[in-house]
Amino acid sequence: MPLNEKIQSLRRERGLSQEELAITLGVSRQAVSKWELGDATPDTDKVIALANYFGVTTDYLLRDLAPETAPAQQRAPSAQKRFAPMLLCIGWCGSALGLCMLLFGQYFAANDWPRLIGLMLLVLFAILPLGSSLMLRQEDEQAGRAFLRQFWRVNIWLVTPVPLIWLGGSSILAHFISSGLAEHLWSALPEPLWALGRLAVFAALPIALYIAICLLVTFLLRKKSK
């Protein structure tokens, strides 16, 4: 049985989807799909990770050997690995809820309680996945690191707005242009250009900065997972 069929067979025995296996190994679902189709071969470190996760040897995966008859208890994935996808979703949903509360408190609430609760939720659901990653790393170093990278590839889009909300476009611009010069520019511009200028400062600049930071972090984390 070739390597691609072995990966697919082992995955199905565990009742895992390609997405769940990809999260465990810290790769994309497309990478797992290519492995199973035979269009690509996993790197050496991923072959080792596959062998550790499925409870087989690398010789079995790479050579035409009979599968090892390991006890079911030994081959069964740990609770941390089985619940890793669910923990990721809980962390993302908690951070999204925290961001919504923070935005509501910042722009609509009559007091600071929603903003404070939102900030606490964001901190809490950033710490909980860290604990889950540490528990996974005690069993499988690579799986723990992959879990944390997968979490922050999404969560960075939920936590980055926090400093940008508090700084605001005008505060960011104040570091580069004095208030007197900015006021002179506003008064000298025609009304349509003045409106576009305010839109660029208070909306476009923070949004562009937000997207740039998130894309950079996502790219770096994705590059490490390959």
The candidate with the shortest Cα–Cα distance to 157, out of 205, 107, 221, is: 221
Residue 216 has pLDDT above 90, yes or no: yes
Q: Does the predicted TM-score (pTM) go above 0.75?
A: no
Rounded CA Rg of the chain: 24
Q: In whole numbers, what is the pLDDT of the chain averaged over residues?
A: 79
pLDDT tens digit sequence for 167-207: 654 444 555 555 565 556 556 655 565 556 555 656 667 77
List pLDDT tens digits, range 10-52: 999 888 889 889 888 888 889 999 999 989 988 888 899 898 8
| More confident: 118 or 172 | 118
* pLDDT at site 201: 59
The answer to whether residue 75 scores a pLDDT higher than 90 is no
